[in-house]
Amino acid sequence: MQPTDASRPNARDAASASDPVVCPFCPLHCDDLLVDDRGQTTVDCEFAKSGFGNAAGDPSIRRGRKTIALDRLDELASELGFPDVPLVSLTSAPLNQSRRWMRLHQSGAIRLTSESTASTRALATAIRRDGVIAATIADVRQHADLIVTVGSIDRCTPRLRERLSGDRSVQWRSLGSCISATHLADLLMAVRHGSPVESNDSFNAQSQDPCTHLSTARYIAFIVADDALADADNVIGASLLLQLIVQLNQQSLDPTTRRRAVLMALDPLQSLKAVLGWNGIPLPMLGTDSTAVDIRIGNPLPESPPAKLQIGGRDPGEAIAEVFIPASQAGVHVADMVIRGDGTVTLPLQPVLGGSLSDPVTIVEQFIGTSAVTGTSDDAR
């Protein structure tokens, strides 16, 4: 027996296949998707196609290599050896579920943590320490004449180029992925002194030295993905990237230059961080030395440690999750809201498919034997 939510509305009552919906599967949250009742969409995005397509299936509860039926989730929690206060790790969460996670965390029923890549953690630390001139999607779309990607932007946000370019002529250049601190230091010194970058194979500059592109642009947007910096020296690399942006802006103080350089990064944890931040609660980040988590919500990252239990997302197999329990997905099976990854706008997530799976928070409550600390799923909407 799978955990269910009998109160879930029929998906077709909430959104017609002819109405565009917001995609929940990456922090860009495109709002122009058409999805039919089989989970099919014509949008050219692998995240949307696979996400809605997989959600239309009928996933099973798995323990080890076997499909199982669960009558009592709290009994399984005891068998898995959960501590009294389990560690619950998230890679993303919509707004209303974030509020419920916060209440569980505040009540002492769980400990919340977040998962992100080493590159993302290093950049976040550098920004908290040094600050940065940041930009939104709208800023970049309206003003940028040069967009420099750092990391695998097309993998993380497949439609970002389409959404940013619009009808304007914009130059796109790439620093590549897993950039070393040495390469960034070379580029910073070259920009500072107006000299060519020697032996730099990371800019993919085709026909020109990277400094030529940077010196001729008037609005430069650095867009950073989760694999931007090399693991070996990502702390130094993050600091150098911010120094590069500062240097480009300092040069704009010259009235003959008039250049603006900004950073844009889309955060899949934007909604959860906002909810916790409004209540003065910090969100810990899972460290690289973590060997396992008790409960993971949603899909793991490539470098995520194993979990005793994964709730929702795709079944990653027993090497990553001892137990997998399917759950409803906001923006597919249930309604919710989400803050876009640049923090600028709150968007509605509408159910587009039928289904009776419970949401992840409800399943965790059942696992830890917690009565409605967070309120019912209807109350939280």
The pTM assigned to this predicted structure is 0.87
pLDDT for the residue numbered 230 = 95
Residue pLDDT, tens place only, 343-362: 999 999 999 987 789 999 99
Radius of gyration for the chain, computed over Cα atoms and rounded to the nearest angstrom: 22
Distance CA 363, CA 55 (A): 17
Residue pLDDT, tens place only, 199-227: 444 444 443 556 777 888 899 999 999 99
pLDDT for the residue numbered 204 = 47
User: Domains in the chain, ordered, with CATH?
Assistant: 61-117+269-370 (3.40.50), 133-264 (no CATH)
Q: Over the range 83-117, which residues count as b (16 or more CB within 10 Å of their CB) and which as e? A: eeebbbbbbbbbbbbbbbbbbbbeeebbbbbbbbb
pLDDT tier at 77, thresholds 50, 70, 90: confident
- Report the 10 Å Cβ neighbour count for 164: 23
Is residue 51 scored above 80 in pLDDT? yes
Is residue 371 scored above 50 in pLDDT? no
pLDDT for the residue numbered 354 = 75
